[in-house]
Amino acid sequence: MTSYDFSGQSGARVNQVSELDLAPSLGSGDVPVLATPRVVAWLEAAAVAALAGLPDGKTSVGIHIAVDHTAPTLVGAEVQAEAQVTAVEGSRIEFDVRASEGDQIVASGTHTRVIVDRERFLTRAGLGAD
């Protein structure tokens, strides 16, 4: 099994909340605040950023995420999503993740990604080259 050294690495993404990021737009509720599915996507993007520099032919896929979305965020707000590597076991990478608006944490949790061979993954998904 190949082992990777991403210990201590982190990634971040800054996003401005738009109408398309709200719960009604994503079908996850009827109040006009930042939707939990969008927060989760932003947290995953931060984790992907933390794994920048993977060898050619490798990519990572998310296999688990557990997030508490604890505060509402309105259109126009700037949200910073961050992911910090907390453990590496072979190709499995664990993260602590959080999203914040200024000093207020609006979501936090854990995320797991696995490093895979990109072509092999696509082939198994039925998307490989013929």
Active site includes 64?
no
Residue-range definition of the domain harbouring residue 66: 10-124
Total number of domains in the chain: 1
DSSP string, the chain: ------TT-EEEEEEE--GGGBHHHHTS-SSSSB-HHHHHHHHHHHHHHHTTTPPTTEEEEEEEEEEEE-S---TT-EEEEEEEEEEEETTEEEEEEEEEETTEEEEEEEEEEEEEEHHHHHHHTT-S--
Active site includes 78?
no
Residue 4 belongs to a domain? no
Which residues of the chain have a pLDDT value below 50?
Answer: none
Residue 2 belongs to a domain? no
Residue 80 belongs to a domain? yes
pLDDT score for 48? 98
Residue of 2, 19, 44, 70 marked active site: 44
Active site includes 69?
yes
Say which CATH number the domain at 36 has.
3.10.129.10
Residue of 2, 59, 69, 89 marked active site: 69
pLDDT (tens digit per residue) in 43-77: 999 999 999 989 999 999 999 999 999 999 999 99
Residue 45 belongs to a domain? yes
pTM above 0.85, yes or no: yes
Q: Cα 18 vs. chain centroid, distance in angstroms?
A: 18
